[in-house]
Structure 1
Amino acid sequence: MNRRWLGPVVSVVVTVLSVATMSSLGVGVLVGLVGGDTALPCDRLPGTAQPFEGDRHIAYEGAPHEPYRTVPPTSGPHSPRVVVPGIYRDAVPEELQVHALEHGHVLVQYAPDVPPGDVEKLERLGRRHPRDVVVAPYPPLGHGIGLTGWQRLGRLDTLDERAVEEFIERIAGRYDHSWQHGAADCVSG
């Protein structure tokens, strides 16, 4: 190919790719606006719906506030700080748990009686969803595994990887400071 044609050919290719990229982004936005109500109805969700306990910020982790009604908590007063999704070897303070839930994340927490091999499997499941899941120990459970999303609670006596995966896939992102994608409060709505 003649070198004097190289510049215009590259310009045309870059322009075509840019237009194609922008067009696909535009189509994605339109689909989101027109068909964005993709949330599953309440009766198809794993776990049980929990009443709204508020969403106010407290001054710091451990600051006095009304007690949470569920173990682990599913909504309520929380820290203004947020814990990022990931694998934690120490328990996450409840006030940080709730703030993670408010951002649409799912917490997968385990009691001291969960075997180390099952903890490794839970951590592996968490790594499959690096933007959505916090995996951590939670001694107040006393027994088994707790799965939480905003106003949603699941409990497992023993590890059921399919149930954990289903909870993550169906609950993560339903709530992010408000109900998303057509999701609704399953207690009052």
Structure 2
Amino acid sequence: MASKSGSTPQHTDPNSRQARIAQMRRAEQARERRNKAIAITLSSAVVVGLVGFGAWVLIDQKRTEQRKQEAAEQLRREAEEIRKKPVEGEQLWDVKNLGRNHVETPVKYEMNPPVGGDHHPRWMNCNGDVYKTPLPEVNAVHSLEHGAVWVTYNEKAAPAEVDKLAATVAKTPYTLMSPVKEQTGSIMLSAWGKQLTVDSADDPRVKQFFTKYVQGEQTPEPGAACTNGLAAK
């Protein structure tokens, strides 16, 4: 009787499992290295981008500041040129003949509105102040001594012109504005020893007068205050 043949038993390689585990670990480590490299690359790109953006912002700010400085310098040069030229049609008084005493008694001025002379110890506020009623002359003259320009008008001035002048005064330190019924011109601008009559707020001499005489060289007390004085009642 023939003997029954048996099948050969399958033996598992004891190292195959460990080999697969090692291979998986190597693959995982490779992925970690790739991810780390990607993260470093992305981080570097972000840092470079932020540095670049920051540098651009600083450069842009510097350029903006430079443009502002150049514009300011241009305005300064233009103002210097304006100050060198006389204002056509202005009236001038010898400042040596304009008193500067502080008095608390009435003063009779030679011109209307006055452009200088003895005056009250307290000045009218002149930090772009627009007054709707007449001012005490003795206080307004003190404002002129501090380098203010006083804009005055009478009933002959068109309301639209008055409004334009008021807007200009309101945004200009060392200026004030008020009605003066008895003045000869419809619109008059006064500084210490200087006066100009115009018919329109758009007259280019208005800007010239402001540029030349607001805290101009004619100012007896440059830098003196235009606030903390007398306000409208």
**Superposed pair shares fold, TM > 0.5:** yes
Q: Verify the 8 A CA contact 1:102 1:177 in the aligned structure 2.
A: no
Structure 1: unaligned runs, 5 residues or longer: 181-189
Higher Cα Rg, which structure:
2
Please give the alpha-carbon distance, in whole angstroms, between the structure 1 residues aligned to 2:147 and 2:211.
4
Residue 165 (structure 2) pairs with residue 125 (structure 1): yes
- C-alpha deviation, 1:16, in angstroms: 1.0
Q: Which residue does the alignment assign to 1:91?
A: 134
Q: Please list the CA deviations of residues 9-46 of structure 1 after superposition, one character each: whole Å capped at 9, or x if unmatched.
A: 3421232133324444655677688887412433x433
Is the Cα–Cα contact under 8 Å of residues 147 and 167 in structure 1 kept in the other structure?
Answer: no
Q: How far apart, CA to CA, are the structure 2 residues paired with 1:142 and 1:36?
A: 30
Higher relative contact order (CA 8 A, sep 6+): 1
Counterparts of 2:177 and 2:57, CA distance in 1? 43
CA shift for structure 1 position 70: 1.8
Q: CA RMSD in A?
A: 3.8
Equivalent position SS for 1:154:
strand
What do residues 96-116 of structure 1 show as CA deviations (whole Å, max 9, x unaligned)? 4334434554332123x436x
Structure 2's unaligned 5+ residue stretches are: 1-41, 219-233
TM-score of the aligned structures, taking structure 1 as reference length: 0.63
- State the distance in 2 between where 1:17 and 1:147 align: 43
Q: Name the counterpart of 2:193.
A: 151
- The Cα shift of 1:6 comes to 4.9
Match of 1:184 in 2: none
Aligned identity (percent) is: 17
Q: CA deviation at 1:4?
A: 3.7
Tell me the number of residue pairs that the alignment of Structure 1 and Structure 2 aligns.
168
Q: How does 1:68-87 map to 2 (within 5 A)?
A: 68-78=109-119, 79-80=122-123, 82-87=125-130
Q: Any idea what the Cα deviations from partners look like across 1:78-111, whole Å, max 9, x if unmatched?
A: 5345322243211233244334434554332123
Letter in 1 for 2:181: P
- 1:171 corresponding residue in structure 2: 209
